[in-house]
């Protein structure tokens, strides 16, 4: 029989520490599939965040450099400026990308830094135990918004991807979801395009991935994927927000 799907080679053959049904492990797998398919292992460097995915280096079989919380895009800038021919990507959570690292993210995008950011939005701080994130939904209960997020107290879900799409330096900005196999395939296509945009030197590329956190949402993995599609996608509509490459083609 012909192999239709096998585990990517650049994903180390080990069990990961993520909870059952975690979106991180799906995104890790997609990245590794692309590293294999696009033959990038020898020239790609990943900057993971502080957060659950800090341990990504235990799973990615390519070069990985840790960064302090939120500093991913600054570290990636240092790498890219020093080695312009390498493919540099940050892998960041919502706190890393849109709270403590907002400045680093926005300015890297605004400089048109030729790096890629994969932004995993699960509306909660996972590793620290389920605290409120900048992207936490209105009314969502977390360990630091026990009465549900109230806009008059905690403000509104921050849509950093929409913000970045307004910046001239950003070349490709999109939001995808992991809710169904079809959407997972779309996510992979988006990440592939983001890497291609980087390689073409067009500018900053960002893929926000709406991702489930069953443990901190306190639901089963099945329920988490339903919530992702029925609730999160309403607050955070999926789709391409900016694509400079097609503009050029026209």
x/- site string to other proteins, residues 128 to 167, per CB under 8 A?
A: ----------------------------------------
DSSP state of 238: -
Q: Closer to other proteins by CB, 55 or 200: give it.
A: 55
Among 143, 151, 166, 180, which residue sits at the site for other proteins (rule: CB under 8 A)? 180
Interaction between residue 6 and other proteins (CB under 8 A): yes
Burial class (CB in 10 A: 0-12, 13-18, 19+), 119: buried
Compute the chain's Rg from CA coordinates. 17
Contacts of 196 (CB under 8 A, 6+ apart): none
3-state secondary structure 199-232: HHCCCEEEEEEECCCHHHHCCCHHHHHHHHHHHH
Interaction between residue 93 and other proteins (CB under 8 A): no
Among 37, 83, 150, 168, which residue sits at the site for other proteins (rule: CB under 8 A)? 83
Interaction between residue 23 and other proteins (CB under 8 A): yes
Interaction between residue 53 and other proteins (CB under 8 A): no
# residues contacting other proteins (CB under 8 A)? 65
Contact 72, 49 (CB under 8 A): yes
DSSP state of 51: S
Instruction: Annotate 231-249 with b (16+ C-beta within 10 A) or e (fewer).
Output: ebbebbebeebbbbbeeee
β-pairing, 131-132 vs 124-125, is antiparallel
Residues listed for the chain: 250
Chain residues 218-247 in contact with other proteins, contact rule CB under 8 A? 220-222, 225
In the bound complex, what is the minimum distance in angstroms from residue 143's beta carbon to other proteins? 22
Interaction between residue 26 and other proteins (CB under 8 A): yes
**How many angstroms separate the Cα of 229 from the Cα of each of 91, 155, 233?**
22, 23, 5
DSSP state of 93: E
Interaction between residue 198 and other proteins (CB under 8 A): no
Cα dihedral sign, 15-42-63-20 = negative
Among 31, 34, 53, 75, which residue sits at the site for other proteins (rule: CB under 8 A)? 75
Query: Which residue stretch of 73-81, 135-143, 193-201, 235-243 sits at the interface with other proteins (rule: CB under 8 A)?
Result: 73-81
Q: Closer to other proteins by CB, 4 or 153: give it.
A: 4
Interaction between residue 189 and other proteins (CB under 8 A): no
Among 146, 181, 249, 250, which residue sits at the site for other proteins (rule: CB under 8 A)? 181
Q: Closer to other proteins by CB, 80 or 242: give it.
A: 80
Show the tokens assigned to 31: 């990245």
Q: Which residues bind to other proteins, rule: CB under 8 A?
A: 1-8, 11, 15-16, 18-26, 29, 32, 41-45, 47, 54-55, 57, 60-68, 71, 74-83, 86-87, 103-104, 107, 180-181, 184-185, 214, 220-222, 225
């Amino acid at each position: 029989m012909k192999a239709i799907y096998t585990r990517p080679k650049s994903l180390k053959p080990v069990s990961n520490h993520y909870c059952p049904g975690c979106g991180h492990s799906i995104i890790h797998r997609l990245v590794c599939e692309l590293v294999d398919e696009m033959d990038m292992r020898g020239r790609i460097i990943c900057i993971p965040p502080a957060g659950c995915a800090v341990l990504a280096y235990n799973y990615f079989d390519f070069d990985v450099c840790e960064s302090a919380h939120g500093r991913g895009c600054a570290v990636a800038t240092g790498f890219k400026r020093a080695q312009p021919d390498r493919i540099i990507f940050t892998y960041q959570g919502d706190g890393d990308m849109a709270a403590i690292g907002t400045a680093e993210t926005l300015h890297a995008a605004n400089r048109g830094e030729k790096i890629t950011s994969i932004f995993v939005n699960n509306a909660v701080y996972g590793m620290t135990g389920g605290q409120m994130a900048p992207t936490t939904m209105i009314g969502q209960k977390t360990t630091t918004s026990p009465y549900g997020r109230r806009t008059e107290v905690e403000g509104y879900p921050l849509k950093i991807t929409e913000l970045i799409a307004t910046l001239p330096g950003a070349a490709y900005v999109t939001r995808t979801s992991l809710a169904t196999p079809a959407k997972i395939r779309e996510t992979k296509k988006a990440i592939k395009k983001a890497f291609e945009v980087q390689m073409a030197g067009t500018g900053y590329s960002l893929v926000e991935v709406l991702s489930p956190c069953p443990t901190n949402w306190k639901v089963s993995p099945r329920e988490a994927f339903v919530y992702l599609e029925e609730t999160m996608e309403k607050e955070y509509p999926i789709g391409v927000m900016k694509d400079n490459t097609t503009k050029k083609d026209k």
